[in-house]
């Protein structure tokens, strides 16, 4: 990826609003966010230098899912507003309670898409991971397992903090096996492929003592990647075909290499959008 634009991490500010009830009521407990889905800066917005702040109100159901998203202060760019809506829809909450009963509630979110220098040290991540690779080569037993876990945790931190959809793969290319990069060279400049970090980890350390945890993170990363790709706005017909081919390739890759991982919900969503 040739162009380097560094979006700052999106800022989320939470203000719970009860559905017609006084929040001060001591018998009321506001909803609490349970998951932390990825908010990637849309590539088309980065390429066109779109930025802006968005305020949204989400209706959290009695089961903790988001039933409705209202943009109350748009960014001025549909692509950013749509990205914010998709992000909000993926949130899960411990639902609000009033007098011991689960009740619907509203939560206000503030999101920022800003083209600025990142406050998260990408170069430090790359240097640290490669240093750990070299260190692990000379270790055995418990010490080796501890350092392998450090690599795993650094991957989790990277994915959790990285919003730069344009350069995502360029960074992970520096810490994964070249043959994995070669396998995905046709998709490399198109979409973030974060799941490859965990695939690379499994290839390097097949005897890691918490491999199930790594596979769980790989599944989550695949879901996030497919969700991002599926919801990305494509204008050129050729790029749309590339998008469909990438989704199919990821699905086949998981079926072949990780048959115990199921992605039924996302597969159904993809099919509903005309990609078989």
Q: Tell me: the pLDDT tens digits for 125-171?
A: 999 999 999 999 999 999 999 999 999 999 999 988 887 887 888 89
- Would you call 267 helix, strand, or coil by DSSP? helix
Ranges of each domain in the chain: 7-115, 122-272
**Looking at residue 5, what is its pLDDT?**
39
Task: Considering only residues 88 and 14, tell me which one the structure prediction assigns the higher pLDDT.
Answer: 88
Q: Mean pLDDT lowest for which of 35-39, 154-158, 219-223, 224-228?
A: 35-39
User: pTM value?
Assistant: 0.74
Domain 7-115 annotated CATH 3.20.20.80: no
* Averaged pLDDT score across all residues of the chain: 84
The DSSP call for residue 164 is B
Q: What is the DSSP string of 34-103?
A: ------PBPHHHHHTT--EEEEEEEEE-TTSBEEEEEEEE--S-HHHHHHHHHHHHT-BEEPEEETTEEE
Question: 217: which residues sit within 8 A by CB, 6+ positions away?
Answer: 152, 155, 156, 198
- C-alpha distances out from residue 229 to 40, 91, 250, 251, Å: 11, 18, 11, 13
The bridge status of strand 32-33 relative to strand 101-103 is: unpaired
**Looking at residue 2, what is its pLDDT?**
39
- C-alpha distances out from residue 138 to 21, 141, 147, 211, Å: 61, 11, 11, 21
């Amino acid at each position: 990826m040739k162009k380097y634009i560094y979006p700052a991490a999106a800022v989320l500010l939470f203000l719970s609003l009860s559905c017609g009830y006084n929040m001060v009521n001591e018998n009321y407990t506001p909803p609490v966010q349970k998951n932390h889905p990825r908010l990637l800066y849309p590539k088309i917005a980065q390429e066109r230098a779109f930025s802006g702040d968005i305020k949204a109100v989400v209706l959290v159901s009695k089961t903790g899912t988001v039933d409705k998203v209202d943009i109350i202060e748009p960014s001025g760019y549909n692509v950013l507003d749509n990205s914010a809506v998709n992000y909000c829809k993926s949130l899960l909450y411990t639902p609000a309670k009033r007098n011991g009963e689960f009740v619907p509630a509203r939560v206000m979110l503030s999101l920022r898409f800003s083209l600025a220098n990142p406050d998260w040290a990408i170069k430090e991540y790359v240097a640290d991971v490669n240093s750990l690779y070299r260190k692990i080569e000379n270790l055995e037993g418990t010490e080796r397992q501890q350092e392998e876990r450090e690599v795993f945790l650094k991957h989790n931190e990277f994915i959790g903090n990285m919003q730069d959809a344009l350069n995502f793969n360029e960074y992970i290319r520096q810490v994964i096996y070249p043959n994995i990069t070669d396998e995905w060279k046709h998709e490399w400049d198109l979409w973030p492929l974060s799941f490859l970090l965990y695939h690379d980890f499994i290839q390097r350390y097949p005897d890691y003592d918490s491999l199930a945890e790594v596979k769980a993170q790989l599944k989550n990363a695949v879901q996030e990647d497919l969700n991002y790709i599926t919801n990305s706005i494509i204008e050129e017909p050729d790029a749309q075909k590339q998008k469909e081919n990438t989704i199919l390739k990821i699905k086949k890759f998981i079926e072949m290499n990780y048959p115990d991982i199921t992605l039924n919900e996302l597969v159904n969503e993809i099919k509903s959008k005309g990609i078989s």
